[in-house]
Amino acid sequence: MELVLFDLDNTLLAGDSDFEWAQFLISRGVLDRELYEARNATFFEQYKAGTLDIHEFLNFQLAPLARHRREELDAWHAEFMAQQIRPRLTDGARGLVNGHLETGALCAIVTATNSFITGPIARELDIPHLIATVPAQMNGEFTGQPRGTPAFREGKVERVERWLEELGLYLGSFRRTAFYSDSLNDLPLLSRVDHPVAVDPDPTLEAHARAKGWQIMHLHTAGATDGSTENDL
């Protein structure tokens, strides 16, 4: 059996669901534009630069969940899926996922974005497993705090290993392991699988991938939505 792991934002998704969720709430008037828009952009730049403090970011990202009832949040998320997410799920990304699912590979999304945002996206793609940062709940309502280890940088490795342990497996159980990602933040997990794939990578990851001879795939860049690859192994 093969293990195939996918990052979500800017990998399967042509955009960042974390960033877009905050922007969506700002556009709905749920979050104050003056207070939140600049901070949202700052955190996004820190993420791209590899300098993000995940705990500081989660305090920002999860707090709005605690201020609203779950029914209201779910209704907003349905609009968010229709307006911001489905248009960003390209044919190339869907084809990549379906190709692996059809081979019987064990597939999972591994993302730092919280599971409230990403759960419906995983279901949209028919990916059966989601390893995401978990927003804590009490009596069905969000507390505004994370639970357990955030699925970010080295935390992704820890969370994947724990998930496999719960299935009675480990990375060595598979004849082939793959991870698709766009981000330098995912170098810890990319370095643990035997088939790392850089998808429309940021400059740091691209340089690393070229130096290591890793496969580079283009799903979202102009003229490359067919899933064209370099250094195909």
* Known catalytic residue at 32: no
* Known catalytic residue at 226: no
Q: Which residue bears the tokens 């992704």?
A: 156
Please answer whether residues 205 and 197 qualify as being in contact, where contact means their C-beta atoms are separated by less than 8 angstroms. Answer: no
Of 121, 130, 149, nearest to 54 by C-alpha is: 149
The strand order across the sheet containing 129-138 reads 141-147, 129-138, 106-114, 2-6, 176-181, 195-199, 215-218, 228-230
Residue in 9, 16, 18, 186 annotated catalytic: 9
Strand pairing of 141-147 and 129-138?
Answer: antiparallel
Of 200, 205, 193, 192, nearest to 228 by C-alpha is: 200
Please answer whether residues 6 and 92 qualify as being in contact, where contact means their C-beta atoms are separated by less than 8 angstroms. Answer: no
Q: Which residue bears the tokens 């399967």?
A: 12
Please answer whether residues 31 and 127 qualify as being in contact, where contact means their C-beta atoms are separated by less than 8 angstroms. Answer: no
| Measured distance CA(104)–CA(152) in Å, rounded | 27
Catalytic positions, please? 7, 9
